[in-house]
């Protein structure tokens, strides 16, 4: 822990009142018992004490109010410290009777109070503390904590929560140990398969025999316990690493709607590392697309539009996946202003089951084009499906027929030959980027 007294003179230090809240306290008590909640709060108290060396003002079953010192260095210092503290509290599971429990923690902070609240007495102290407590509570209300109530859950629901928690903890462990890796799905022009739009990052792991598996089920468990943002932020930073290492790459990654906020853990206390990277390397933004499911439009998390507008202002692409799955109306989706839309793969895969299904593909594509210019048909796995996509004016398709998911990014048809692919160390420049995405009218399927 940094000794702030050594790096900042006393008259440049301030007091901050922090309200540290365990958001999944009721979940833990319902699923694991009161003793587990007591263990969790003891862990929170210990980590806060080691991180901040604070004065504890008040403690309840799910909250700790503390008075902490911080140096008055820059405006973002306190928010950065809060994000680091939340990551430390949430990223390490608490052990209780053989179970490993992840904690969802939020922190509200007051404005700085120069001079030291602990030196005040009587009415002055009480008034200052109440004012600081109100400020911290107001900021805590802005936090995008998942609204998952388990006041009185049936036993099956509690059992599912325990199963999800165990799976989510294993996933974060695997990521921390470096056992997960990215596989890349190419997005092709169906008329000219040597033209690519971008590669989509997909998280994978391998068993002892080297067979690859996706992490969808484990990720969904992490999302159900309300902590998908822990993984999302780490993976987006890894995609930035890929973009830095390969200046010719254009990459996308899907994140949870839960993560579409700067108010994760604390007000404006999320994605600080990501924003700092983009500010240092603005060229990365124009080659990055952040995607999320269309269900995000049905209920905005606090700060969702602020988050998306900020990314858009930085030059980052906004992608919408699962379009047409029935979660949101076109009017709701228009508010999000996506720069790219991916149709739900189910529509291409079922298009030939009936005339109605076939017509639905064209209707969805037309709706998508009213929202943005770049529409991707997902699920183009057969020549017939690719022909259908071309007939409906598809600019871009994703599917096994044109480009398999692979741990190496390839950029053109020549790269897909085994001999060339084995010798690749870096992706070739995309012809799609080189020729300005000009349409080509001769389909190859």
Q: Per residue in 309-359, pLDDT tens? A: 999 999 999 999 999 887 788 888 888 999 999 999 999 989 899 999 999
Domain annotation covers residue 154: no
Helix axis angle for 155-176 and 25-32, nearest 10°, is 110
Domain annotation covers residue 269: yes
How many Cα atoms within 13 Å fall on the side-chain side of residue 238? 18
Domain annotation covers residue 442: no
Q: What is the pTM of this model?
A: 0.84
Q: Using the 3D structure, point to which of 112, 141, 170 is the last residue of a domain.
A: 141
The closest of 406, 423, 425 to 181, measured between CA atoms, is 406
Same domain, 136 and 262: no
Domain annotation covers residue 441: no
What's the confidence (pLDDT) of residue 302?
A: 64
Same domain, 293 and 342: yes
Domain annotation covers residue 153: no
Domain annotation covers residue 150: no
Same domain, 375 and 252: yes
Same domain, 185 and 317: yes
What's the confidence (pLDDT) of residue 331?
A: 85
Same domain, 332 and 195: yes
* Number of domains making up the chain: 2
3-state secondary structure of 97: coil
Same domain, 211 and 128: no
Same domain, 132 and 205: no
Q: Using the 3D structure, point to which of 115, 141, 167 is the last residue of a domain.
A: 141
Same domain, 388 and 274: yes
Same domain, 184 and 137: no
What's the confidence (pLDDT) of residue 308?
A: 95
Structure tokens that stand for 313 in this block: 């202002």
Same domain, 356 and 253: yes
Q: How far apart are CA 433 and CA 411, in angstroms?
A: 11
Domain annotation covers residue 271: yes
Same domain, 226 and 298: yes
Q: How far apart are CA 375 and CA 122, in angstroms?
A: 65
Q: How far apart are CA 380 and CA 443, in angstroms?
A: 14
CB neighbourhood size of 329 (10 A): 12
User: What residues make up the domain containing 124?
Assistant: 4-141
Q: Using 50 as the pLDDT threshold, list the residues of the chain that sit under it.
A: 1-11, 72-73, 114-120, 147, 149-150, 152, 413-445
Domain annotation covers residue 119: yes
What's the confidence (pLDDT) of residue 272?
A: 92
Judge contact between 215 and 204, C-beta under 8 A: yes
Same domain, 298 and 222: yes
Instruction: Give the pLDDT confidence of 175-195 residue by residue, as tens digits.
Output: 999 999 999 999 999 988 788
Q: Using the 3D structure, point to which of 93, 126, 141 is the last residue of a domain.
A: 141
CATH number at residue 286: 3.20.20.450
Q: How far apart are CA 337 and CA 308, in angstroms?
A: 9
CATH number at residue 128: 3.30.70.270
């Amino acid at each position: 822990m940094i000794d702030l007294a050594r790096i900042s003179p006393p008259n440049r230090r301030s007091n901050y009142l922090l309200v540290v809240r365990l958001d999944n306290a009721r979940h833990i008590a319902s699923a694991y018992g009161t003793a587990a909640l007591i263990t969790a709060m003891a862990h929170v108290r210990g980590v806060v004490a080691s991180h901040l060396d604070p004065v504890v003002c008040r403690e309840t079953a799910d909250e700790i109010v503390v008075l902490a010192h911080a140096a008055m260095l820059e405006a973002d210092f306190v928010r950065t410290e809060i994000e680091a503290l939340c990551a430390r509290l949430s990223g390490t599971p608490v052990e209780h009777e053989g179970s490993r429990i992840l904690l969802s923690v939020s922190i509200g902070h007051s404005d700085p109070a120069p001079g030291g609240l602990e030196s005040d007495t009587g009415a002055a102290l009480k008034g200052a503390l109440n004012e600081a407590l109100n400020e911290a509570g107001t900021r805590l209300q802005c936090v995008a904590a998942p609204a998952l109530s388990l006041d009185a859950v049936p036993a099956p629901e509690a059992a599912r929560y325990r199963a999800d928690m165990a799976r989510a903890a294993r996933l974060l462990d695997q990521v921390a140990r470096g056992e997960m890796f990215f596989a890349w799905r190419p997005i092709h022009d169906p008329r000219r398969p040597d033209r690519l739009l971008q590669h989509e990052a997909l998280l994978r792991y391998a068993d002892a025999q080297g067979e690859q598996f996706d992490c969808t089920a484990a990720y969904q468990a992490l999302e159900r316990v309300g902590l998908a943002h822990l993984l999302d932020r780490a993976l987006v930073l890894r995609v930035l690493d890929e973009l830095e290492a390969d200046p010719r790459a254009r990459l996308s990654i899907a994140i949870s709607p839960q993560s579409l906020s700067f108010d994760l853990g604390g007000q404006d206390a999320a994605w600080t590392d990501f924003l700092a990277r983009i500010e240092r390397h603005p060229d990365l933004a124009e080659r990055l697309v952040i995607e999320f499911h269309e269900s995000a439009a049905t209920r905005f998390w606090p700060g969702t539009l602020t988050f998306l507008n900020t990314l858009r202002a930085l030059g980052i692409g906004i992608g919408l996946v699962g379009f047409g799955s029935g979660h949101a109306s076109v009017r709701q989706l228009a508010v999000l202003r996506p720069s790219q839309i991916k149709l739900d793969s189910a529509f291409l895969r079922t298009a030939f089951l009936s005339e109605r299904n076939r017509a639905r593909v064209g209707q969805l594509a037309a709706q998508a084009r009213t929202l943005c210019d770049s529409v991707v048909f997902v699920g183009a796995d057969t020549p017939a499906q690719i022909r259908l996509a071309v007939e409906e004016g598809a600019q871009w398709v994703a599917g096994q027929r044109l480009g398999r998911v692979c741990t190496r990014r390839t950029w053109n048809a020549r790269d897909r030959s085994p001999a060339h692919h084995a010798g690749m160390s870096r992706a070739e420049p995309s012809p799609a980027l080189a020729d300005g995405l000009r349409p080509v009218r001769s389909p190859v399927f």
